[in-house]
Amino acid sequence: MGQCCHHTGSKTGQKEHHHDHRCASSAESGGEQLAMASDDRRVTEDDIVPDDDNDCSQTHYWRIGGMDCPSCAGKIETALRRLPGVLSADVRFATERLQVILTPETTTHTVEQSIRAAGFTPLGDHSAGQGTEQGSGSWWSEYAPILTLLALMLAAAAASLFVPGAAPPLFTLATLWGLWPIGRKALQLARSGSPFSIETLMTVAALGALLLGETPEAAMVLLLFLVGEKLESLAANKARRGVRALMALVPDRALRVTAAGLEKVAATSLRPGDEIEVHPGGRLPVDGLLLSELAAFDESAITGESLPVDRNKGEPLAAGSLLVDVTARVKVTSAPGNNTIDRILHLMEQAESNRAPIARFIERFSRWYTPAMILAATLVALAPPLLLAADWQTWIYRGLVLLLIGCPCALVISTPAAVTSALASASRLGILIKGGAALEQLGKIDTMAFDKTGTLTQGEPRLQQVIIYSPFEREQVLALTAGLEAGSHHPLAKALVLAAEAEGIAPEPLSYRRTLPGAGIESEWQGQPLLMCTPAHLAASMLTTEQQTDVDQLRAQAHTLVALVVGEQLAGLFALSDSLRKDARAGIAALQALNIDCLMLTGDHRAAAAPIAAELGIDYLAELKPQDKLEQLVRLGHTRQLAMVGDGINDAPALKQASVGIAMGQGTDVALDSADAALTHSRLTGLADAVRLSRATHQIIRQNIALALGLKAVFLVTSILGITGLWLAVLADTGATALVTINALRLLRFTPAAEVFMQDTENKRI
């Protein structure tokens, strides 16, 4: 049993078993319980279990070995939820992680015993996550059951040629050898609350064939099943390879800078505010801010950007980034268990609980499908002999064949395998998608709405012109403006503050600043009210004819305007402009090629929005306040499948309102929380890739379901007619499972076509 330690939010997959304590009383709110939950996995409201006895619950984590398909996760959950003292059990197949919330009286040893009793392996922290990969045992121990069974069957086949009398006992011995691990697993699962498992079906079929004297077929059935299980295991490991590679990006150790020099510490001991040193060729163990003047980082594993990126002092850095050129010092900004890689892994885990509607339907379907097939097989075996005096052996044999045909493995794995592969592929491309539901919805999108600033444009506006109106002076106006906008993160505010700094003008100290949502900022100076807003928020009577002319002329030049009002007088008019992103045209063109209509929603004046929309060839709605954007999204959502693309901070309400919200930016908390998807690389061309990947996933899911059900339908008829036997039934089931898995793994090779659109667009423009 792995040592139980206080939760420190370590890298997922390295701290294999740990726990945290969470005390809850009847007076605590759900939000307080959420705040006290583990950092390693964000607990949702559904995870909160009321505690009327004022006891403390404990949250524990393990990695689980031996899971070949998503149904294995359900079997473990079923086994654990039957235990007294287990408040909740949640298994994530993609990351092989188990989370269990226990009462204080329940020991972790009891949980581990139950996991082993169900036929799976709880992996402890034996070697810092480096030696616990599934399949880390010797090659012989892994393949011995299959090879021994094959050897016994070959010996029996040879005996049938030279010593015919020895063949049946050898085939019987082979059958019993192959049946032992399968029957034991079936018994374990039945005791754990999963009586209708594939192992149960195989055990019944093999024993039935043995009793009917069909020993060669019984042995062949078991051999094909064991080979199929091994193929499923290999396919599952391949699908998880991207997740494991992501886990491996974050190093276990770090060099912390102290007063005495450099100190080598565990990465989990780092806290926000610590300073670390990273050498060329090393990866960042945390999110941070660059303290060195300049350094180049390879961020391809996080953003999909193939070339190293130069970062300047003060710029944010993501965990897992590879330092390319010089030694650099970094200030830690992420808490343990909450860096960029952890959040990506959390999204992939969350994807399993936020499954696509089609996946949820198949899960419900499979719950009654297997018992129904067992009932059908029983009727096939008993009805003809009892009602029609047919041959018992013939119809029992056909019932056994039908029992194997009814195995739902291929059907159950058809959707999760495709979704997991798609999410891993999307993560590699710098696209984070919150689960199968969002992935499925992306493929249905026919309209995509965009915020302008920071989404279609660079988000770095520059001050182009300042008009000062008497009796005010330029230095006075810039000082007041910088004082109002100081500390704001809005791109326009930053541009105004930088303009004052460039002229050496210090911000005017103000007693207070109050943000007016969707309107501007207000304050007070020398007993007079101050207001910073767009001219659209000013009464027409406040502007003179000259000032109105200036406003109209600047708007005609596609500038974004900001006005400073002192008392009742317009003191200054600021004209700013923001250039389009370099990939904006290519991104829009790629979406339009997919028959997706594009629409720009902006609070700017029509004169400023129109040239940008015209350059991109899209529709626009301008002069929208935040509530106006929401109203437009609600209206459009009645007739269209709508996605909203924004920065994830200013547009959080709009992102939540749309069918699919997509945030631009490098995986910030607000972006991930508000949106259904996020582009870590902030490239608009990734939007088309996300839609194409979604459509490809849906197509493969349909193919998989058709393949799984089609093969079953064919062999259902042929088995009842006596055309196919037991071994062909298993071959069909194993083959279907292998085929749907291999078909789903094609999504791992998904390549973006956005670069093609970008090149074509640039060529046309030239």
Catalytic residue annotation: 451
Provide the CA 604 distance to its chain's centre, in angstroms: 34
Rounded Cα distance, 271 and 259, in Å: 16
Rounded Cα distance, 292 and 310, in Å: 12
Q: Residue type at 502?
A: A
Nearest to 9 by CA among 42, 51, 32, 31: 42
Q: Identify the helix (H) or strand (E) that includes residue 690.
A: helix 685-720
Q: What sign does the CA torsion over 606, 610, 612, 613 have?
A: positive
Nearest to 85 by CA among 124, 119, 111, 63: 111
Rounded Cα distance, 573 and 588, in Å: 33
Q: With contact defined as beta carbons under 8 Å apart, do 555 and 607 qualify?
A: yes
Q: Which residue has the tokens 């509607």?
A: 357
Q: Which residues, 6 or more positions from 506, have their beta carbon under 8 angstroms from its beta carbon?
A: 479, 482, 500
Eight-state DSSP code of residue 595: T
Nearest to 482 by CA among 509, 460, 518, 464: 509
Question: How far is residue 333 from each of residues 26, 289, 338, 444, measured CA to CA in Å?
Answer: 35, 7, 10, 38
Rounded Cα distance, 636 and 46, in Å: 31
In 3-state terms the chain splits into helix, strand, coil percentages (rounded to 5) of 50, 20, 30
Rounded Cα distance, 463 and 561, in Å: 10
Question: How far is residue 765 from each of residues 437, 616, 759, measured CA to CA in Å?
Answer: 38, 11, 10
Nearest to 657 by CA among 671, 639, 642: 642
Q: With contact defined as beta carbons under 8 Å apart, do 35 and 42 qualify?
A: no
Q: Which residue has the tokens 């990695």?
A: 63
Rounded Cα distance, 745 and 414, in Å: 11
Q: Which residue has the tokens 């063109």?
A: 589
Q: With contact defined as beta carbons under 8 Å apart, do 288 and 317 qualify?
A: yes
27 φ, ψ to 5°?
-85, -15
Q: What is the 3-state secondary structure (H, E, C) of 313-355?
A: CCCEECCCCEECCCCEEEEECCCCCCCHHHHHHHHHHHHHHCC
Q: The sheet that has 328-332: what strands, in order across it?
A: 261-266, 253-258, 275-278, 328-332, 288-290, 316-317
Q: Which residues, 6 or more positions from 690, have their beta carbon under 8 angstroms from its beta carbon?
A: 426, 431, 433, 442, 662, 677, 679
Q: Which pair of tokens denotes residue 591?
A: 């979406």
Q: 574 forms bridges with which residues in the sheet?
A: 466, 562
**Quick check: helix, strand or coil at residue 48?**
coil
Question: How far is residue 410 from each of residues 202, 406, 461, 525, 644, measured CA to CA in Å?
Answer: 15, 10, 54, 72, 36
For 332, counting Cβ atoms within 10 Å of its Cβ (0-12 exposed, 13-18 middle, 19+ buried), the class is buried
Q: How many CB atoms lie within 10 A of CB 68?
A: 22
Rounded Cα distance, 671 and 669, in Å: 5
**Left, alpha or beta for 682 (phi > 0: left; psi -120 to 50: alpha)?**
left
Eight-state DSSP code of residue 540: G
